[in-house]
Amino acid sequence: MKAVVYERYGPPEVLRLADVDRPRPTGDQVLVEVRAVSVNASDWEGLRGRPAYARLGGLRRPRARILGSDLAGRVEAVGPQVTRFRPGDEVFGDNLALKGGFAQYACAREKALAVKPAGMSFEEAAALPQAGVIALQGIRTKGRVQAGQRVLVNGAGGGAGSFAVQLAALAGAHVTGVDNAGKLDFVRSLGADEVIDYARTDFTRTGERYDLILDLSAHRSAFAYRRALVPGGRYLYVGGSVPTLLQVLFVGPVIGGRAGRKVRMLVVQPNPTDLLTVARLCLDGTIRTVIDRRYPLSEVPEALRHLGEGRAKGKLVVTLD
Ligand SMILES: NC(=O)c1ccc[n+]([C@@H]2O[C@H](COP(=O)([O-])OP(=O)(O)OC[C@H]3O[C@@H](n4cnc5c(N)ncnc54)[C@H](OP(=O)(O)O)[C@@H]3O)[C@@H](O)[C@H]2O)c1
């Protein structure tokens, strides 16, 4: 089968299209014929080996030779322990644990997959899993956002951010979206009431305070984030620098003070229930999936470069015939 592989961390040039063996599903694995796979910041990080947490799956060299987590396709075969799927089923999910989606076939754990809703295209289904579930768990599940609350989404114009802004606006929150200047009109179009250009303004120093900060690109100190919270407010680290992550993990729990501010990491739990919740919201038109660009499998390096250079608005999707 055709796959986009890499043997060392580096720029998109280290990727190449190759013929490799088709994987075989074992245990609870499902072999999926991939019809569409979306590109996430986690793929970019896994390609570069940066931040350092991207090397958890191989310190010096990547253990998984094929990136690509968010896939949608048709079940080709199942392992002996699989009970929920059979060949021919149309599925989608976040395969972050095994990856391998930038290929004609990929193995995914059964628990990572859901049945793709009939009215949804493979492309749209592939755009949802990681970004949609991060947004849902950040905005809705881990302490529900209330109408009138002030919510700031840092990284609002990217994959997860574009869903998070819409979900927060849907909850009736006053939403501030932070991203680069080129994405701010887009962020407004998603429902943000206010926008901030991260290159010009440090949102932790404006004097504004928020009930929830969902941070998809965290690079400041835990103390700066606490400063930007109202009493009882929550800051959630999703992705960003390792020093910030370590501060959030080790200092975060003790700096909340009597005012009950919480500075924490959001550990996203991919699961079919949340995935289908987001899918239903998209299907009934409550929120929308924004697919910025589509690429063939051979252009995965270009797709990753587009994302890495900060030009993607919403999602990038790779489609396979
Ligand atoms: N916590 C968990 O369990 C978990 C699970 C899965 C994924 N993740 C992480 O989630 C993160 C976000 O994913 P994603 O797919 O939404 O990423 P994405 O599509 O790349 O979006 C990130 C957005 O942040 C913007 N940005 C970059 N630097 C910024 C800054 N200094 N201030 C504000 N915004 C900035 C980017 O804009 P530019 O275009 O200007 O760069 C981009 O629009 C990744 O780091 C990923 O590893 C976490």
Q: In a 3-state reduction of DSSP, which class is residue 29?
A: strand
Residue to mutate (ligand 1; options 69, 163, 216, 271; most atoms within 8 A of CB): 216
pLDDT of residue 217: 96
| Averaged confidence pLDDT in the chain | 96
Instruction: Give per-residue burial for 155-194: e unless 16+ CB within 10 Å, then b.
Output: bbbbbbbbbbbbbbbbbebbbbbbbbeebbebbbebbbee
**Residue 152 C-alpha to ligand 1 middle, in angstroms?**
14
Q: Is 38 in the pocket of ligand 1 (CB under 6 A)?
A: no
Give pLDDT tens digits for 243-273: 999 999 999 999 988 889 999 999 999 999 9
Q: Which atom of ligand 1 is nearest to the CA of 96?
A: 6
Check pLDDT > 70 for residue 142.
Answer: no
Residue 192, C-beta contacts closer than 8 angstroms, at least 6 positions apart: 153, 156, 165, 169, 175, 176, 177
- Report yes or no: 318 and 72 within 8 Å, Cβ to Cβ: no
R_g over Cα of the chain: 19
Asked if residue 195 has its Cβ within 6 Å of ligand 1, the reply is no
Asked if residue 46 has its Cβ within 6 Å of ligand 1, the reply is no
**Smallest Cα–Cα separation from 37: which of 119, 117, 108?**
108
Q: Name the residue with higher pLDDT: 52 or 108.
A: 108
Residue 161 CA, closest ligand 1 atom number:
16
pTM of the full predicted structure? Answer: 0.94
What residue spans of the chain are helical by DSSP H?
A: 41-48, 122-127, 129-136, 159-170, 184-189, 222-227, 242-250, 272-283, 300-308
